Structure 1
Amino acid sequence: MQRQIQTALLMAASLFMDMMDGTIVTSAIPSIAEAFRVSESTASLLVSSYIIALAVLIPLSGWLGKRYGHKKIWLYAVGGFTTTSFLSALSINFHMLLIMRILQGVSASLMTPTARIIVMEKTLPKDMLRMTSFLIWPALIAPAIAPLLGGILVTLLSWHWIFLINIPLGIACILLGIRIIAPGVPHKERSFDLIGFVEIAAMSTLLLAAGDMASRGFVYYQPSLILLIAGLITGVLFCWHLYHTEHPLFSPWPLKVASFRISQTGESFLWLSVGALPYLLTVFLQSYFGWSPVKAGTYILCIFLGNIGIKPFTTFIIRHLRYKKAFLLAFSWILLSALCFALITPGTPGMLIIILAVLSGMGRSLSLTAYNGLCFSELPGKERNDANTLTAVTSNLAVGLGISLITVVNAIASRIAGTGRGYEISFIFLGVLMIYPIIETLFLPDDIGENTIR
């Protein structure tokens, strides 16, 4: 168990590095645009290109892990991520930096799902909640502290340091990984589903490109709609392919298990909401309240305080309330905080904003812990690799689309009702997204996930 915990902490460190890097670059966009004499809209390609590269190659990670061993793929991925971080800081022009960001996304696409399966593949159901608690930390911490950390690094040092901070962490991960991670058993006879990979890669690219294009303004809504429709059609073709080919890219069988299926449906809605909230709140506090990036980032950090404050108690809450009631409690916190954010004004006491941010963070922490505790709880070990690949695809798409979706909602609402009312509608929209997970949870059996809490 000690080695398993060490492995989980190491994998969490690599996940933190990836999630932090995917978010922190946003803070440096103005500085990078100025340094390379490009527009901020052009510089924002550093964010979208990373997300798209990550999404396109995630489905490949499961096959590579099985084919060559998860440990080997993870080590190569961390090495690639660390190297491209260093080269990003050394970029002499914008085109070099953009290429390095794409290669960073490629490395992250192999690192993130592999890190998760290294921990969860052999974890017994009774230990699932405990191991999940280690892997949840990066998803909770990185998006909350990235705006503040990025603002500090860019203000006090330079944009180069948002990449340089990855280097010591990456080197430490590699050295520890060589020593700690147990070697896997490659399955060299595993065939590769090229058609399935092309279809899901095209689907992810089209959907994320549609979201990114739509977030750039009204003039792009029509082409983004075309991309969205093309992405949905490609997704339907991919689903048909999964169920009708002899050796699919990953098996759809785990979707028949309710405890796994809700982690693809309800959790996707959750990610759309909680993934977009820190971004929306940051923009709201800076553009509407007129706060500085550091002051706004400090308040966003309170979401992290909610995450970390309740984290030691999440397992206790789930064990005593059981999963169904724990979900409903967490969703109610997220829904309530989002609706209350719609009511705040520049005259609202700062302490009340802090309380709402903490409450939102608590809901994020409890719900994500519960979803991850359930995800693999009823799946046999041989099915977890395929299930992990599918989970990585859906969660990455939800996170990537969340910010684009709320940007479009806010733009349309602000154009129709004015800036202030537009933000109100946007926060309400994020709260309404929680209705689906609530309804889905109400239909779950009361004893779901019982094998993880006995």
Structure 2
Amino acid sequence: MTKEIKTALLMAASLFMEILDGTIVTTALPKMAQYFHTGSATIALLISVYLITVAVFIPLSGWMANRFGKKKIWIIAVIIFTLSSLGSAVAPSFTFLLIMRIIQGISGALLTPTARLIVLEKTPPSQLLKMFSYLIWPALVAPAIAPLIGGFIVTYWSWQWIFLINVPIGLIIVLIGIKLIDADKINKTTTFDFLGFLEITFSSSIILVGAELATHGKNYWLSAIGLIVLGVILGFIVFKHLKKVDNPLFSLDALKITSFRICQTSGSVLWLCVGALPYILTIFLQTVFHWSAVKAGSYVLFIFIGNIGIKPFTNAIIRKLGYRGALLSSFVMIFITSIALAFIQINTFPIVIMFLALVSGVGRSLALTAYSGLSFSEVDTKDRNSANTLNAVVSTLAQGMGISLMTVVVGLLQIFFPITIAYEQGFVVLGLLMIFPAIEVLFLPKNIGHATIGVSYVKH
């Protein structure tokens, strides 16, 4: 195993720890609400505060990596994440726990883009697909296994272990990282775009606060829509600022490249679905079928099995079909399985539900690997820091919006239909979302991103 692959696997391990922590807490919220004697709306702040903090501080990551060095920022981020996890586990009050979650969000925001940049910055185009196949699995695996692991922990142990499991993982990752990762160049002359940071902070925060507010019921929907619209308007102001300022927080030049731009538009829809499907399936099985958290999680686990099962073959499939063919194939799988999940009943053979979850996982894994490899295929090495930061901002917002969108969709449908039908149609909506990326990808050149998949594709 080469040093580059070892580094990629180490970065993937740190990403897995951060993404798992961001999703697993959902399962423990009822137990935590009992422990701290708070209501469900208050305890849900642990999720929304974390997501908003991550979105706010991600734009800082690229500048800090340049100013202080990627290795140093990554190590500090992992240490802070580990310590704040320990602080969360021993929290004496809800306020203290909320502060720890904010600190976790800050460290997670610095950790995620920096980990990717450490791997990407020196990777030649021909190796991008291979390296991304190592980096992408945490984003696929963590949301899928979180319901099962979380359900197991809160059923047989205590909610504190959701945070305590990060401590040994974090310490091991730091110790290996200190020895394995090479020191990098530091650019002390890098200026900080403070106005750009403030603008993107307000824009991201307002969008995610609006999305979170939308999940609290129809009485809040008008306010939520107003906040999201305001956030989008601010987003356009941010866009104009980053285009005209001499030293932007991160450059938007990569958006001129079709292969990168497509991954921010149609790729965002896919990220939204990646975050939403395990969530809506888990809630559906618990709310409509009245299954336990552990039983529901064990079925959702098959999404993870599909993710991992196809992983050894994704690169070969992309080389054979090209990026366009691989993406269209994955959209078809996600579309069909999402629609099919709308028809499952309490008496449906378990193997059918497992199979649908598995095929959905295969489609998600193939699509995210293809998007990841394609996104940086034509981005110059010197521009990858900015492109990576922009990509992280967009995907974080998309994932944050996923659960909120499906909560609102199901809530809206419940006004007109019984809860069972509302959830079933929620799956249909998730499937229909695949139409937009399919149309966008359909018009891409057949040979797009060919530099990352070698000569064998050109021959086809």
* Preserved contact between residue 140 and residue 274 of structure 2 (Cα < 8 Å): no
Counterpart for residue 63 of structure 1: 63
Deviation at 1:274, TM superposition (A): 2.2
Could you tell me how far apart the structure 1 residues matched to 2:154 and 2:421 are? 32
Could you tell me how far apart the structure 1 residues matched to 2:395 and 2:135 are? 14
Structure 2 residue 248 is the aligned partner of structure 1 residue 248: yes
Counterpart for residue 442 of structure 1: 442
Counterpart for residue 382 of structure 1: 382
* Preserved contact between residue 29 and residue 43 of structure 2 (Cα < 8 Å): yes
Counterpart for residue 116 of structure 1: 116
2:92 counterpart SS class: coil
Counterpart for residue 105 of structure 2: 105
The letter of the residue matching 1:25 is V
The letter of the residue matching 1:193 is D
The letter of the residue matching 2:325 is K
Could you tell me how far apart the structure 2 residues matched to 1:20 and 1:302 are? 17
Deviation at 1:345, TM superposition (A): 1.5
2:277 counterpart SS class: helix
Could you tell me how far apart the structure 1 residues matched to 2:140 and 2:70 are? 25
Could you tell me how far apart the structure 2 residues matched to 1:260 and 1:388 are? 10
* Equivalences, count: 454
Question: Deviations along 1:289-315, whole A, 9 cap, x unmatched?
Answer: 111110000000000010011110000
2:12 counterpart SS class: helix
1:122 counterpart SS class: coil
1:6-155 equivalent positions in 2, closer than 5 A: 6-155=6-155
Could you tell me how far apart the structure 1 residues matched to 2:341 and 2:196 are? 42
Deviation at 1:221, TM superposition (A): 1.1
The letter of the residue matching 1:40 is S
1:382 counterpart SS class: helix
| TM-score, scaled relative to structure 2 | 0.98
Could you tell me how far apart the structure 2 residues matched to 1:313 and 1:171 are? 32
Could you tell me how far apart the structure 1 residues matched to 2:202 and 2:358 are? 38
Structure 2 residue 276 is the aligned partner of structure 1 residue 276: yes
1:186 counterpart SS class: coil
The letter of the residue matching 1:384 is R
Deviation at 1:206, TM superposition (A): 0.4
Could you tell me how far apart the structure 1 residues matched to 2:337 and 2:381 are? 38
Counterpart for residue 344 of structure 1: 344
Counterpart for residue 207 of structure 1: 207
| Sequence identity percentage | 53
The letter of the residue matching 1:411 is G
The letter of the residue matching 2:9 is L
Tell me which stretches of 4 or more aligned residues in structure 1 moved more than 2 Å.
none
The letter of the residue matching 1:257 is I
Could you tell me how far apart the structure 2 residues matched to 1:223 and 1:129 are? 42
Of 122-131 and 412-421, deviating more is: 412-421
Could you tell me how far apart the structure 1 residues matched to 2:204 and 2:295 are? 35
The letter of the residue matching 2:409 is V
Could you tell me how far apart the structure 2 residues matched to 1:229 and 1:41 are? 23
Could you tell me how far apart the structure 2 residues matched to 1:42 and 1:222 are? 21
Could you tell me how far apart the structure 2 residues matched to 1:244 and 1:452 are? 32
| TM-score, scaled relative to structure 1 | 0.99
Structure 2 residue 292 is the aligned partner of structure 1 residue 292: yes
Question: Deviations along 1:45-77, whole A, 9 cap, x unmatched?
Answer: 111110000000000000000111110000110
Unpaired runs of at least 5, structure 2? 455-460
Could you tell me how far apart the structure 2 residues matched to 1:299 and 1:106 are? 33
Could you tell me how far apart the structure 1 residues matched to 2:363 and 2:75 are? 34
Counterpart for residue 399 of structure 2: 399
The letter of the residue matching 1:2 is T
The letter of the residue matching 1:244 is K
The letter of the residue matching 1:143 is P
Deviation at 1:254, TM superposition (A): 0.3
Q: CA RMSD in A?
A: 0.8
The letter of the residue matching 1:375 is S
Counterpart for residue 360 of structure 1: 360
The letter of the residue matching 2:37 is R
Could you tell me how far apart the structure 2 residues matched to 1:397 and 1:184 are? 29
